Structure 1
């Protein structure tokens, strides 16, 4: 089953109503994304698989306000393919200097923090 795009016009007078509608739609099973559209942000655009548009519209009417089903169709937006990691590495490798090697300091060789005990044995005996 292909992803479908559902557009529902909902009468929302405030930001509180908008967030309530968005939360209601987002909690519905099968919904992948929710967005607001229209000049006055009065349309809820839902993208998902297996979403019952009629039940969703009825739930919005019950919880938010007057709702009308405007459009139900196939989602025509193509998803981005994951980038080729080898190509990304080659681009980084050829266009940037490699990171410098780590520097390791040997403090004992320089005499820092290294304490030797003086020789206390008697040399006469």
Structure 2
């Protein structure tokens, strides 16, 4: 399965709308986790359809904007910081 990270911007005016958005997002099949950051909701899951998710949130809240869809792994692929154990690539050796 392909793990995806989906970021959506929502119009969250009050706590009721936040709960409603969170409940709708977590209720989708394939969603493994969800988190709120301000007016953004970050959803991680296996084979979640971002278009369907956006449509469901638009129907329940009125406004939902799909900001990004990426693979679920947060590690850097370019090897930046590999000497210190971060990112991909080989560690640098002293000497």
Q: TM-score, normalised by structure 1?
A: 0.57
Pairing 1:19-58 to 2, within 5 Å after superposition: 19-37=19-37, 41-58=38-55
Pairing 1:1-125 to 2, within 5 Å after superposition: 1-37=1-37, 41-77=38-74
Give the Å deviation of 1:76: 1.6
Instruction: Give the whole-Å Cα distance in 2 for the aligned partners of 1:77 and 1:70.
Output: 17
SS of residue paired to 2:51 = helix
The structure whose residues are more often strand, as a share, is 2
Count of residues in Structure 1 that have an aligned counterpart in Structure 2: 75
Instruction: Give the whole-Å Cα distance in 2 for the aligned partners of 1:31 and 1:66.
Output: 21
Q: TM-score, normalised by structure 2?
A: 0.75
- Mark the runs of 5 or more structure 2 residues left unpaired by the alignment: 76-95
Compare CA radii of gyration and give the structure with the larger one.
1
- Mark the runs of 5 or more structure 1 residues left unpaired by the alignment: 79-125
Instruction: Give the whole-Å Cα distance in 2 for the aligned partners of 1:65 and 1:12.
Output: 10
RMSD between superposed Cα atoms in Å: 1.1
**Over 6 Å off, 4+ runs:** none
Cα deviation digits, residues 57-86 of structure 1 (max 9, x gap): 0110100121100000001247xxxxxxxx
